Structure 1
Amino acid sequence: MKGRRVTALLVGLAAALTLTACGVPPSDVIQAGEPASGMYSPRPKPSEPGVVFLYFLDDGDPTAYPRKIGDTADLGNVVDQLFGGPTRSEAVTATTELPRLADTPAVTVGGGKDVSIKLPNDVAPFSQPAMLQLACTVAHARGSFVPLPAATHQDAAHTAPPLDAQRSPTHTSVSVLGDGWTMRQSDDSCPDPPQP
């Protein structure tokens, strides 16, 4: 019984000390001005599916082929799609000189319009047409995207660029880094990108 009384007394004493709040007197609300504010950073909008133009070869010339892509802002995804080669419907007229890669290449966007693509090991240097495919695709992907029409499918048929297409005033340069080799290509020789 004595233990219970001591415990009850200690609990009562602790409650009394808590209620006195160490002698701090109560006060009213103190006005301190405007509520806290700071930089507002809205959540990024999720990217919408769209169409990007991948450059494959048609009779040896780089030609734009529309391709549905989930994240049009992801240049690495665009490059990966290009290395994947033409789809079955694109392959009717399209070929590629780019190899199929075992691993995804690392894409780095530098200052200005420079893009570097680091390839997995054991990839041979590219031909001039393959370098043009890369440079044209990257240049177009960095410059413009076309919203995806409701009726477009993954295997959309090839569409020729319209005659009134115009080249962007700035040029892109692509550096490809292989295992012991580096190649560089600008988009100067690329055909004008198609217009929506």
Structure 2
Amino acid sequence: MKRLSRLGLAAVAAVSLTGCGVRQSDVIEAGGPATVTVFPDAEQRVLLFFVSSEGRLTPVSGGVFMDRKGEYDGKVPGEVALMMLLGGPSATARAAGLHTELPRSAGHIGMKSGTDQVSVRVPIAVRGLGKTAVRQLVCTAAYAEGGDGTAEVTVAGDDGRLPAMHCDA
């Protein structure tokens, strides 16, 4: 009798170790990745475009625009965004492998915006810039002034004006 109960116990243990009857299933599509809103929100942050080590344009959220008292002072002016861009990536961004293809400059930057159009004047020669460097300027200006990056941007520099273009980042 003891032998029979041991065999019964072994059989129950073997069955329980083989699974609980859950069948394998295929992958079920559930949509795209989740998105979240990050602080600062779109009205408070500046979006700068730098270049990854693979050569791709990469948006980087800059700081919050503060007044001299250290308080939030509304939307970041487009001129400030371009000054930050021409100043190059922060130490943190450089450590992450980001760089700029724009020359550093601290001269006067001008910006005018209208309905879906932005005109930018930067203190550098623009005609000899590479495609990625121009896209850095265009995308930063488009997001600074247009908010959603769809604005048409015209860039002018010390050596003339480039044709109007859109950010395709």
Same fold, TM-score > 0.5, yes or no: yes
For Structure 1 versus Structure 2, the TM-score category normalised by the shorter chain is 0.5 to 0.7
SS in 2 for 1:60: coil
Give the distance between the partners of 1:54 and 1:178, measured in 2 at CA: 19
Runs of 4+ in 1 over 3 A off after TM superposition: none
2:110 to 81, 106, 112: 106
TM-score by length of 1: 0.52
Identify if the C-alpha distance between structure 1 residues 60 and 86 changes in structure 2 by more than 3 Å, giving closer, same or farther. Answer: same
Q: Is the 8 A contact 2:77 2:144 kept in 1?
A: no
What is the CA-CA distance between 1:105 and the residue it aligns to?
1.4
Question: CA deviation digits over 1:127-183, x for unaligned, max 9?
Answer: 110111112222222344xxxxxxxxxxxxxxxxxxxxxxx5x82122111233211
What is the CA-CA distance between 1:115 and the residue it aligns to?
1.3
Q: Determine if the alignment matches structure 1 residue 119 to structure 2 residue 122.
A: yes
Gap regions ≥5 residues in structure 1: 1-48, 145-167, 191-196
1:55 to 46, 49, 73: 49
TM-score by length of 2: 0.59
The CA RMSD measured in Å over matched residues stands at: 2.3
Q: Is the 8 A contact 2:45 2:76 kept in 1?
A: no
Q: Determine if the alignment matches structure 1 residue 77 to structure 2 residue 56.
A: no
1:87 to 75, 90, 97: 90
- Give the 5 Å matches for 1:19-38: none
Give the distance between the partners of 1:69 and 1:143, measured in 2 at CA: 17
Give the distance between the partners of 1:57 and 1:77, measured in 2 at CA: 19
* Bigger Cα Rg: 1
Higher mean alpha-carbon deviation, 178-187 vs 51-60, is at 178-187
Question: CA deviation digits over 1:82-105, x for unaligned, max 9?
Answer: 111100110122111111114131
Q: Number of paired residues?
A: 116
Q: In the alignment, residue 136 of structure 2 is paired with which amino acid?
A: Q
Q: In the alignment, residue 57 of structure 2 is paired with which amino acid?
A: P
Question: CA deviation digits over 1:59-88, x for unaligned, max 9?
Answer: 211111111131534111111111111001
2:33 maps to what in 1?
none
- Give the 5 Å matches for 1:147-158: none
Q: In the alignment, residue 98 of structure 1 is paired with which amino acid?
A: L
Gap regions ≥5 residues in structure 2: 1-42, 66-72
